[in-house]
Amino acid sequence: QYPVKIARPNPATAKIIMAQLGGPDGELAASMRYLSQRYTMPYREVTGILTDIGTEELAHMEMIASIVYQLTRNLSEKEVSESPFASYFVDHTTGIYPVSAAGVPFDTKYLAVKGDPIADLNEDLAAEQKARVTYDNILRLSDDPDVNNVIKFLREREIVHFQRFGDALRI
């Protein structure tokens, strides 16, 4: 959806970007939430919205994983050991593993699926806002324009998803 071309490795930035891969408000949680909720939606239009957005979130997960990979490729031992990424490196080297920025592994408890259309759609509205805030926080901490351009694109998509879930709630 958007080209990811990171020029400078930066393990500290990779550590914070991980939030949107495996964190509670990240892309993996969003994708699994929406793709799971669609089965109990009574309206085909809403099922379609959940399917479309859930699938798009998978693409966003791929973008976040690409950012993390490009920020951590070819790091020296010194660069790793002197960064907050060192604790992640011990367990995963530079493999892409879904954890939060704090290092907490992805957990299915992040998937809020109630089976009630109103409850689930309101959860989805909140999830998109929490993801937007996380992207805002990443932008506050990152000074890399290659990273920030992708993050800004993803942030804009969270706003669009929020609007589409608002439309779904009115159906």
CB 41 within 8 A of CB 50: yes
The reported pLDDT for the residue numbered 25 is 95
Task: Give residue-wise pLDDT tens across range 142-164.
Answer: 999 999 999 999 999 999 999 99
- Cα–Cα dist 4/59, whole Å: 12
99 strand-pairing partners: 105
Give the pTM. 0.95
Per-residue CA distances from 99 to 13, 51, 159 (Å) = 14, 24, 24
The reported pLDDT for the residue numbered 1 is 86
Compute the Cα dihedral for 32, 3, 12, 141 and give only its sign. Answer: negative
Q: pLDDT per position in the chain (171 positions), as tens?
A: 899 999 999 999 999 999 999 999 999 999 999 999 999 999 999 999 999 999 999 999 999 999 999 999 999 999 999 999 999 999 999 999 999 999 999 999 999 999 999 999 999 999 999 999 999 999 999 999 999 999 999 999 999 999 999 999 999
Which among 132, 113, 131, 133 has a CA at the least distance from the CA of 123? Answer: 113
The reported pLDDT for the residue numbered 59 is 97
- Cα–Cα dist 56/60, whole Å: 6
